[in-house]
Chains A and B, each alone.
Chain A
Amino acid sequence: MDAILAQLLNGLDKGAAYALIALGLTLVFGTLGVVNFAHGALFMLGAFCAVAFRQFITTETVTIDETQLSPWGTPLEVRTPMAEQWFGDWAPFLIDYSVPISIVLAIPFMLLVGIAMERGLIKHFYKRSHAEQILVTFGLAIVLQELVKTFFGPNPWPQPIPSDFRGAADVGAWFGMQAGAVTYPLWRLVYLLFAGVILGAVFAFLRFTTFGMVVRAGMADRETVGLLGINIDRRFTIMFGIAAVVAGLAGVMYTPLLPPNYNLGMDFLVLSFVVVVVGGMGSLPGAVAAGFLLGILQSFASMTQIKALIPGIDQIIIYFVAVVILLVRPRGLLGRRGVMEG
Chain B
Amino acid sequence: MDIFRLPRKDVITLALFSIVVLTMPIWLAPLGAAYPGLMQQFAIFAIFAVGFNILFGLTGYLSFGHAAFLGVGSYTAVWSFKLLTMDAIPALIFAIIMSGVFALAIGFVSLRRSGIYFSILTLAFAQMSYNLAYSVLTPITNGETALQLTSQDPRIIDMMFRDRLAGLPSPSLLGTSLGGYGGFYLCAAILLVVFFIAQKIFTSPFGMQLRAIKSNQTRMSYTGFNTRPYTLAAFVISGMYAGLAGGLLAVTDPLAGAERMQWTASGEVVLMTILGGVGTLLGPVIGAWLIKYMENIFSAFNARILADLFSWLPDGVQDGVVLVSSKFVGEGWKLTEGLVFVLVVVFLPGGIMEGTRRIKSLFGARRANRSASKEQLSTTAAE
| A residues adjacent to B (C-beta < 8 A) | 35, 121, 124, 128, 130-132, 134-136, 138-143, 146-147, 149-150, 266, 270, 273-274, 277, 281, 311-312, 315-316, 319-320, 322-323, 326-327, 330, 340, 342
Interface residues of B in 55-81 (CB under 8 A from A): 60, 62
- Beyond A319-B127, A340-B116, is A312–B132 a contact (Cβ under 8 Å)? yes
Please indicate the chain B residues that have their CB under 8 angstroms from the CB of A139 in the complex. Answer: 271, 338-339, 341-342, 345
Count of A-B residue pairs with CB < 8 Å = 114
| B339 with A342: CB separation less than 8 A | no
Please indicate the chain A residues that have their CB under 8 angstroms from the CB of B327 in the complex. Answer: 150
| B342 with A319: CB separation less than 8 A | no
Across the interface, B115 reaches (CB within 8 A) one of A130, A135, A273, A327, namely A130
Name the residue of chain B whose CB is nearest to the CB of A269.
Answer: B263
Interface residues of B in 93-116 (CB under 8 A from A): 109, 112-116
Please indicate the chain A residues that have their CB under 8 angstroms from the CB of B264 in the complex. Answer: 266
Name the residue of chain A whose CB is nearest to the CB of B133.
Answer: A315
Q: How far is the CA of A259 from the CA of B242 in the complex (A)?
A: 35
Main SS of chain B's interface residues?
helix
Q: How far is the CA of A143 from the CA of B337 in the complex (A)?
A: 8
Name the residue of chain A whose CB is nearest to the CB of B274.
Answer: A135
- Beyond A146-B335, A150-B327, A342-B114, is A319–B346 a contact (Cβ under 8 Å)? no
Q: List 28 A-B contacts (CB under 8 A).
A: A124-B346, A128-B349, A130-B116, A131-B62, A132-B349, A135-B270, A135-B341, A136-B342, A136-B345, A136-B346, A139-B271, A139-B339, A139-B341, A142-B338, A143-B335, A146-B332, A146-B335, A270-B263, A312-B135, A316-B131, A319-B131, A320-B124, A320-B128, A322-B121, A323-B124, A326-B117, A327-B112, A340-B116
- Beyond A131-B60, A134-B116, A312-B136, is A273–B342 a contact (Cβ under 8 Å)? no
- Beyond A132-B345, A139-B342, A150-B335, is A323–B121 a contact (Cβ under 8 Å)? yes
Nearest Cβ in chain B — how far from A33, in angstroms?
11
| B123 with A140: CB separation less than 8 A | no
Q: How far is the CA of A134 from the CA of B118 in the complex (A)?
A: 13
- Beyond A150-B332, A315-B136, A323-B109, is A142–B337 a contact (Cβ under 8 Å)? yes
Binary contact readout B323-343 vs A (1 if CB under 8 angstroms, 0 otherwise): 000010001101101110110
| B117 with A277: CB separation less than 8 A | yes
User: Does B134 count as interface, using CB distance less than 8 angstroms?
Assistant: yes
Name the residue of chain A whose CB is nearest to the CB of B345.
Answer: A136
| A143 with B342: CB separation less than 8 A | yes
Q: How far is the CA of A121 from the CA of B347 in the complex (A)?
A: 11
| B342 with A342: CB separation less than 8 A | no
| B125 with A319: CB separation less than 8 A | yes
User: Does B120 count as interface, using CB distance less than 8 angstroms?
Assistant: yes
| B113 with A342: CB separation less than 8 A | yes
User: Does B119 count as interface, using CB distance less than 8 angstroms?
Assistant: yes
Please indicate the chain B residues that have their CB under 8 angstroms from the CB of A132 in the complex. Answer: 345, 349
Main SS of chain A's interface residues?
helix
Nearest Cβ in chain A — how far from B312, in angstroms?
26
| B131 with A315: CB separation less than 8 A | yes
User: Does B267 count as interface, using CB distance less than 8 angstroms?
Assistant: yes
Interface residues of B in 329-383 (CB under 8 A from A): 331-332, 334-335, 337-339, 341-342, 345-346, 349
Name the residue of chain A whose CB is nearest to the CB of B130.
Answer: A315
Across the interface, B342 reaches (CB within 8 A) one of A121, A147, A150, A311, namely A121
Q: How far is the CA of A142 from the CA of B345 in the complex (A)?
A: 14
Name the residue of chain B whose CB is nearest to the CB of A144.
Answer: B338
- Beyond A135-B345, A139-B345, is A326–B120 a contact (Cβ under 8 Å)? yes
| B residues adjacent to A (C-beta < 8 A) | 60, 62, 109, 112-117, 119-121, 123-125, 127-128, 131-132, 134-137, 263-264, 267, 270-271, 274, 327, 331-332, 334-335, 337-339, 341-342, 345-346, 349
Name the residue of chain A whose CB is nearest to the CB of B267.
Answer: A138
Q: How far is the CA of A322 from the CA of B118 in the complex (A)?
A: 12
Please indicate the chain A residues that have their CB under 8 angstroms from the CB of B134 in the complex. Answer: 315
Apart from A277-B120, A320-B124, A326-B113, what 20 extra A-B contacts exist at CB < 8 Å?
A: A130-B116, A131-B60, A134-B62, A139-B338, A139-B342, A142-B334, A142-B338, A143-B335, A143-B339, A149-B331, A150-B332, A266-B264, A273-B120, A312-B136, A315-B128, A315-B132, A315-B134, A316-B128, A323-B124, A326-B121
Q: How far is the CA of A131 from the CA of B116 in the complex (A)?
A: 7
Q: How far is the CA of A289 from the CA of B353 in the complex (A)?
A: 45
Please indicate the chain A residues that have their CB under 8 angstroms from the CB of B114 in the complex. Answer: 342
Q: How far is the CA of A342 from the CA of B137 in the complex (A)?
A: 34
Q: How far is the CA of A140 from the CA of B113 in the complex (A)?
A: 26
Name the residue of chain A whose CB is nearest to the CB of B127.
Answer: A319
Q: How far is the CA of A132 from the CA of B125 in the complex (A)?
A: 22
Q: How far is the CA of A134 from the CA of B63 in the complex (A)?
A: 11
Please indicate the chain B residues that have their CB under 8 angstroms from the CB of A128 in the complex. Answer: 349
Nearest Cβ in chain A — how far from B256, in angstroms?
19
Please indicate the chain A residues that have their CB under 8 angstroms from the CB of B337 in the complex. Answer: 142
Across the interface, A35 reaches (CB within 8 A) one of B116, B127, B136, namely B116
Name the residue of chain B whose CB is nearest to the CB of A319.
Answer: B124
- Beyond A136-B345, A340-B116, is A270–B123 a contact (Cβ under 8 Å)? yes
| B132 with A140: CB separation less than 8 A | no
Q: Which of B116, B128, B332 has the most CB of A within 10 A?
A: B116
Nearest Cβ in chain B — how far from A329, in angstroms?
11
Q: How far is the CA of A316 from the CA of B132 in the complex (A)?
A: 7
Name the residue of chain B whose CB is nearest to the CB of A327.
Answer: B112
Q: How far is the CA of A28 from the CA of B258 in the complex (A)?
A: 33
- Beyond A142-B338, A147-B335, A319-B124, is A134–B119 a contact (Cβ under 8 Å)? yes
Please indicate the chain B residues that have their CB under 8 angstroms from the CB of A281 in the complex. Answer: 116
| A322 with B119: CB separation less than 8 A | no
Please indicate the chain B residues that have their CB under 8 angstroms from the CB of A312 in the complex. Answer: 131-132, 135-137
Nearest Cβ in chain B — how far from A223, in angstroms?
22
Nearest Cβ in chain B — how far from A337, in angstroms?
15
| A270 with B127: CB separation less than 8 A | yes
Please indicate the chain B residues that have their CB under 8 angstroms from the CB of A326 in the complex. Answer: 113, 117, 120-121
In order of increasing CB-CB distance, the 9 nearest A-B pairs are A312-B136, A142-B338, A146-B335, A315-B131, A319-B124, A139-B342, A143-B338, A139-B341, A316-B128
Nearest Cβ in chain A — how far from B58, in angstroms?
14
- Beyond A134-B119, A135-B270, A142-B341, is A315–B124 a contact (Cβ under 8 Å)? no
